[in-house]
Amino acid sequence: MKRKLQSGPQYALYAGLLVMAISISSFTGCSSGKKDTQETEKKNPACKVETTLFGITAEGDSVMLYTLKNEKDYVVKITNFGGIITEIHTPDREGQFGNIVLGFDNLDRYLAGHPNFGALIGRYGNRIADAKFTLDGVTYQLAANNGDNSLHGGVIGFDDVIWEPEVISCDERAALRLSYVSEDGEEGFPGTLTVHVTYELLMDQLLITYEATTDKATPVNLTNHSYFNLAGEGTILDHVLYINASRYTPVDNELIPTGEIAPVEGTAFDFRKPRVIGERIDEVPGGYDHNFVLDQAEGERTLAAKLMDPKTGRSLEVITTEPGVQFYTGNFLDGSLSSGDFTYVKHSGLCLETQHFPDSPNQPDFPSTILRPGETYSTQTIFKFGVEK
């Protein structure tokens, strides 16, 4: 059974509604309240957020879909179930808009099970070895949901809960702020963690800002798990990828880091010059599913990766304050899932998950992921969309 939003009773008011307005609180200079929202939308009607009913869970909770639009006709759709990005529409070199992420158009498809399409991942993105770690002398046993290991927060991670929404729509920005309180002991993690994630659609960028506080020391590693296919069909093996990393973290046969930080030079992991993804993928058993150590000054925002599809000309830049990015080539997609005419076979999409490193709570030489009371976890990732002729 999926956990319900702590303030879940308010969702009963949404059942049967297809379109609704939500009063909003102050955010990045935007005024709060329905009246102010209407006034700003009049000034820039092309920059807005539409809210529709996405589906109802077996427990009777209504789940909403938020469509962010701007004056350049970019569209991003997000549901407050799991903070999932269901669609991103950007133009190709002919000016034709198309969806560039894998996902579904209704809640039931997500409830039936999926490989984290577009999901907001936490408390801990990626793997923790043996589903346990020791912090301040205490060993914590986590939920093991990937063999003996913990993956993406456990059996019911942040991708599997309903988030509290706030809609922001004002001059030159359309945004959605999602909040969730993860109780002490949830999936084995210590501390009550209060999380806020904001999605902002600007002119040609989607900004994702993560914030969290805790009342007890705990590991935190939040990310987004969107599968990109800039062509909107076929596989991503002919996409061209650049990754701003001269090192990566090798893994064992369970995809747990060995603790080594190794150079990419002379290996199939060297994407410091743009390279076709399929060129050397056969040299990587199972395909790419590895953490790359970004070449950046600690905490500074930097270009992590750039992806381009030669067929459509669409490009994607990933900019982040995080020290790493997980490059995953959809190795476990098997053709059992589809949307419309697009069947999701192996390598139908790829992920560029900005993050701290996998298994950091058990790896003292990796950057720390421990958040303590009085501190604020704060990271940002930007997806910048473009077209190349």
Active site residue 353: yes
Least confident of 12-26, 159-173, 220-234: 12-26
User: What is the predicted pLDDT for the residue at 172?
Assistant: 62
* pLDDT tens string 257-285: 999 999 999 999 999 999 999 999 999 99
User: What is the predicted pLDDT for the residue at 389?
Assistant: 86
Q: Which of 89, 225, 239, 290 is catalytic?
A: 225
What is the mean pLDDT of the segment spanning 186-206? 97
Higher pLDDT residue, 150 or 171?
150
Active site residue 225: yes
Query: What is the DSSP annotation of 200-217?
Result: EE-SSEEEEEEEEEESS-
Higher pLDDT residue, 118 or 36?
118
Return the CATH number at 39: 2.70.98.10
Classify residue 151: in a domain, yes or no.
yes
Classify residue 363: in a domain, yes or no.
yes
Q: Is the pLDDT of residue 318 over 90?
A: yes
User: What is the predicted pLDDT for the residue at 48?
Assistant: 86
Instruction: Band the pLDDT of 173: cuts 50, 70, 90.
Output: confident
* Rounded CA separation 132/215 (Å): 20
Q: Is the pLDDT of residue 43 over 70?
A: no
Classify residue 323: in a domain, yes or no.
yes
Is there a contact between 199 and 78 (Cβ–Cβ < 8 Å)?
A: yes
Q: Is the pLDDT of residue 84 over 50?
A: yes
Classify residue 3: in a domain, yes or no.
no
For the chain, percent of residues with pLDDT exceeding 90? 84
Q: Is the pLDDT of residue 241 over 90?
A: yes
User: What is the predicted pLDDT for the residue at 46?
Assistant: 64
Q: Is the pLDDT of residue 182 over 80?
A: yes
* pLDDT tens string 57-75: 999 999 999 999 998 999 9
What is the mean pLDDT of the segment spanning 330-341? 97
Q: Is the pLDDT of residue 170 over 90?
A: no
User: What is the predicted pLDDT for the residue at 39?
Assistant: 36
What is the mean pLDDT of the segment spanning 159-183? 90
Q: Which of 187, 317, 322, 353 is catalytic?
A: 353
Q: Is the pLDDT of residue 4 over 50?
A: no
Mean pLDDT of the chain: 89
Classify residue 1: in a domain, yes or no.
no
What is the mean pLDDT of the segment spanning 351-362? 98
Handedness of CA 248, 251, 257, 261 (dihedral sign): negative
Give me the amino acid identity at 159. D
Instruction: Band the pLDDT of 367: cuts 50, 70, 90.
Output: very high
- Give the count of domains, the chain: 1
Classify residue 53: in a domain, yes or no.
yes
Distance of CA 176 to the CA centre of its chain: 14
State the burial class of residue 312 (Cβ atoms within 10 Å of its Cβ: 0-12, 13-18, 19+).
buried
For the chain, percent of residues with pLDDT exceeding 70? 87
Q: Tokens at residue 72, please?
A: 């350049």
Classify residue 65: in a domain, yes or no.
yes
Q: Tokens at residue 245, please?
A: 């990393």
Q: Is the pLDDT of residue 14 over 90?
A: no
Would you give the end-to-end CA distance of the chain in angstroms?
A: 49
Range of the domain at 288: 8-387
Classify residue 2: in a domain, yes or no.
no
